[in-house]
């Protein structure tokens, strides 16, 4: 019996916090506490749970690899994923703290579902068995379907949820069929046993291809991205920030584990599939972002493009590639959640209309709120890959890993895409500095303390992470396994 329950203690804390939040809400209703006060309590409880889980994960780093019945594994990869997910979650809860009261009174439900999504992602990073992987994928997806449509006062939220749900369920079908075909090839669903049996032939290739389609949907890779801009635009902004980062991180880690299990499929076969996905995803994401008017939708397309950059690291398949993927996900958590946090502050206060701000709403932001404009500039420059910000180092490591593995054209395509993306990021920056504030410039004032804290943390991360974390990257390489012997 391999029952090292200690490895899932952070996940258990998160699930327990979700239950506590629901109970605390019942108690709050029983003593008829005012909604605003209850909202603060729920957010506070959620925050405590997230921070405790993050601290416990930090304590676990460096401990030996242990598993639970070969279903869940506690290794460095899963611990770093926990940190990425929890970081994105903490920033998003700070963002949601005062944002939620604008459109809902169901705080407890929001935070409980949010925590369950976090738990699903953390389990997904630890899952080394196809059923476990599928169930954790569904836990996070189902929670996110509801969170996407949480703003019930407006049609856009419901529409986003419906599109996300239908395509998400559709992709689950592909994921399942892929898992079934791997079972057909080997007779087992344990990833370690699948790797040991080294299956070949039609079932393995087809199974991996279908799993890739399933992951492609979850990662919003082109051509499986149709749901993403709509879901990201219609969802409440804290949810958008969270799911654009954390879902990607969890799905990338799970994809790495599946690729490790199907090591018998030749590198030349799957790496080409991933490389083409990477090229399509970043090119289409950036080109579509060029013509957006809504700030949130532009950031949604930009997050599609960023999934494309991360695919470059997966295609490289080397240890350096894996390190670059993890590094990029960390950097991305800071800069992307930060950008969405600023975008949330520019939204119009109407209850029933679509709330997301146009890019024109950023006009003259520098004149009105200089610090907010500077923070947004840093996030956008980092997303564009400007040195010495975190995004630059992330892209640099990805491209270096690609060149080392012989994917020169892919690295060049990535660099060209960064240039294209600079255009639409700079468009926002120009509009913030070069124009006078207009009627359309709306800033939610006063800036509340929690969201200011979130933006400050994100700025600090964006500026410092790239410089400070480079030594950390080399220590990482000892713990992460390469996909292919190269």
Partner 1 sequence: MVPTAYVLVLSAVLFTIGAVGVLVRRNALIIFMCVEMMLNAVNLSLVALSNQWGNLTGQIFVFIVMAVAAVEVAIGLAIVMAIVRHKDTTNVDEINLLKW
Least distance from C-beta 131 to partner 1, angstroms?
6
Q: Which stretch binds partner 1 (CB under 8 A): 96-104, 131-139, 267-275, 406-414?
A: 131-139
Query: With binding defined as CB under 8 A, does residue 197 bind partner 1?
Result: no
- Nearer of residues 237 and 292 to partner 1, judged by Cβ: 292
Report whether 483 contacts 256 (CB < 8 A). yes
Least distance from C-beta 237 to partner 1, angstroms?
15
Tokens of 156: 């856009």
CA distance 461 to 459: 5
Tokens of 153: 């006062």
Query: With binding defined as CB under 8 A, does residue 109 bind partner 1?
Result: no
CA distance 116 to 114: 5
Query: With binding defined as CB under 8 A, does residue 134 bind partner 1?
Result: yes
CA distance 190 to 127: 10
Burial class (CB in 10 A: 0-12, 13-18, 19+), 431: buried
Query: With binding defined as CB under 8 A, does residue 482 bind partner 1?
Result: no
Backbone angles phi, psi at 154, to 5 degrees: -125, 145
Query: With binding defined as CB under 8 A, does residue 155 bind partner 1?
Result: yes
Give residues 321-380 in contact with partner 1 (rule: CB under 8 A): 354
Least distance from C-beta 415 to partner 1, angstroms?
27
* Mask for 222-261, x = binds partner 1 (CB under 8 A): -------xx--xx---------------------------
Q: What is the DSSP letter of 6?
A: G
List 17, 189, 323, 431, residue binding partner 1 (CB under 8 A) = 189
Tokens of 462: 């964006």
Q: Which residues contact 373 (CB under 8 A, 6 or more apart)?
A: 362, 365, 366, 432, 433
Query: With binding defined as CB under 8 A, does residue 140 bind partner 1?
Result: no
Query: With binding defined as CB under 8 A, does residue 138 bind partner 1?
Result: yes
**What is the torsional sign of CA 236, 256, 305, 160?**
negative
CA distance 265 to 272: 12
Backbone angles phi, psi at 292, to 5 degrees: -85, 145
List 170, 433, 435, 442, residue binding partner 1 (CB under 8 A) = 170
Least distance from C-beta 173 to partner 1, angstroms?
4
Give the containing element (helix H, strand E) for 162: helix 155-186
Q: Which stretch binds partner 1 (CB under 8 A): 153-161, 260-268, 443-451, 475-483?
A: 153-161
Query: With binding defined as CB under 8 A, does residue 169 bind partner 1?
Result: yes
Least distance from C-beta 272 to partner 1, angstroms?
24
Q: Which residues of this protein are in contact with partner 1, per CB under 8 A?
A: 130-131, 134-135, 138, 142, 145-146, 149, 152, 155-156, 158-163, 165-166, 169-170, 172-173, 176-177, 179-180, 183-184, 187-189, 229-230, 233-234, 291-292, 354
């Amino acid at each position: 019996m391999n029952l090292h329950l200690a490895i899932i203690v952070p996940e258990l804390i998160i699930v327990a916090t979700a239950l506590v939040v629901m109970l605390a809400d019942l108690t709050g209703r029983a003593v008829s506490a005012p909604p605003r006060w209850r909202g603060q309590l729920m957010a506070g409880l959620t925050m405590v749970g997230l921070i405790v889980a993050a601290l416990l994960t930090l304590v676990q780093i460096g401990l030996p690899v242990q598993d639970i019945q070969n279903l869940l594994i506690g290794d460095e990869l899963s611990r770093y994923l926990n940190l990425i997910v929890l970081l994105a979650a903490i920033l998003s809860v700070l963002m949601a703290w005062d944002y939620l009261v604008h459109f809902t009174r169901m705080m407890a439900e929001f935070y409980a579902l949010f925590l369950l999504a976090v738990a699903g992602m953390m389990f997904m990073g630890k899952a080394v068995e196809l059923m476990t992987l599928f169930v954790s994928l569904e836990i996070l997806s189902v929670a996110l379907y509801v969170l996407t449509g949480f703003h019930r006062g407006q049609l856009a939220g419901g529409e986003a949820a419906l599109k996300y749900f239908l395509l998400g369920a559709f992709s689950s079908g592909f994921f399942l069929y892929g898992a079934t075909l791997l079972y057909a090839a080997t007779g087992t669903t344990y990833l370690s046993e699948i790797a040991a049996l080294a299956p070949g032939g039609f079932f393995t290739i087809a199974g991996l291809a279908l799993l890739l389609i399933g992951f492609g949907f979850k990662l919003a890779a082109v051509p499986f991205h149709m749901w993403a801009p709509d879901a990201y635009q219609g969802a409440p902004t804290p949810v958008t920030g969270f799911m654009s980062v954390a879902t990607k991180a969890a799905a990338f880690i799970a994809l790495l584990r599946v690729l490790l299990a199907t090591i018998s499929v030749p590198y030349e076969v799957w790496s080409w599939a991933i490389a083409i996905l990477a090229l399509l995803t970043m090119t289409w994401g950036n080109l579509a972002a060029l013509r957006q008017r809504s700030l949130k939708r532009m950031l949604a397309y930009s997050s599609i493009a960023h999934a494309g950059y991360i695919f470059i690291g997966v295609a490289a398949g080397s240890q350096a590639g894996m390190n670059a993927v993890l590094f990029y996900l960390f950097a991305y958590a800071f800069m992307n959640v930060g950008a969405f946090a600023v975008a949330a502050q520019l939204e119009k206060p109407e209850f029933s209309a679509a709330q997301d701000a146009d890019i024109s709403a950023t006009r003259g932001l520098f004149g009105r709120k200089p610090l907010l404009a500077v923070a947004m500039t840093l996030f956008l420059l980092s997303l564009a890959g400007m040195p010495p910000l975190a995004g630059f180092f992330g892209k640099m490591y990805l491209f270096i890993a690609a060149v080392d593995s012989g994917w020169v054209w892919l690295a060049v395509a990535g660099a060209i895409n960064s240039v294209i993306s600079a255009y639409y990021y700079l468009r926002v920056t120009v509009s913030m500095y070069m124009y006078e504030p207009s009627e359309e410039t709306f800033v939610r004032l006063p800036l509340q303390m929690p969201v200011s804290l979130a933006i400050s943390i994100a700025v600090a991360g964006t500026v410092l992470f790239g410089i400070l974390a480079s030594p950390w990257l080399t220590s990482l390489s000892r713990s992460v396994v390469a996909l292919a012997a190269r």
